[in-house]
Amino acid sequence: MANFTSNASDKSKKTALLIWAIGALGFLGLENFYVGKIKNGLIHVVLGAFGLMTVYTMANMGDNMVIPMSIIVWAIFGGPNFVKLLLGSFRDNVGAPLRR
C-alpha cells in the first residue's frame, strides 16, 4: 500500500469562510482561532471590537461619516483575511494551506 502525505492543512477553507462571515464579516477574526492562530485571533478580537464600538458610537451620535468609517474599518480588519481565504493564501498555524 502506498503512503501518501499531504502538505495541506486539516482545516477547511469553506469552514473558515463561514466562521469569517459569522464573526461580523471578519471584524472579530474568529477564523484565526479556527486555524490555530490564537495570538492573531486575540489581537483581531480586541482591535475589531474597538473598531465596531467606534462605528456604533458614531452611529448613535448621528454622524454622517458612519458608512465610510464602517467601510474603512472593515477594510482594515475584515478584508485582508477574506481576500486571503478566497485566493487560497490563508494558512494555518503551521503554515499549511487550507484544504478545499
**pLDDT score of 21:** 85
Give percent above pLDDT 90 in the chain.
6
* Residue 44 and residue 32 in contact, taking contact as beta carbons nearer than 8 Å: yes
Residue 98 lies in a domain: no
Query: Rounded to whole angstroms, how far apart are CA atoms 72 and 2?
Result: 51
Residue 93 lies in a domain: no
Residue 99 lies in a domain: no
Q: Which residues of the chain have pLDDT under 70?
A: 1-6, 24, 26
* Residue 27 and residue 84 in contact, taking contact as beta carbons nearer than 8 Å: no
Query: Rounded to whole angstroms, how far apart are CA atoms 26 and 35?
Result: 14
Total domains, the chain: 1
Sequence-ordered list of residues with C-beta below 8 angstroms from that of 100, at least 6 positions apart, any chain: 12, 13, 14
- Structural domain for 35, as ranges: 13-87
Amino acid (one-letter) located at 20: W
Residue 46 lies in a domain: yes
**pLDDT score of 81:** 84
**pLDDT score of 2:** 58
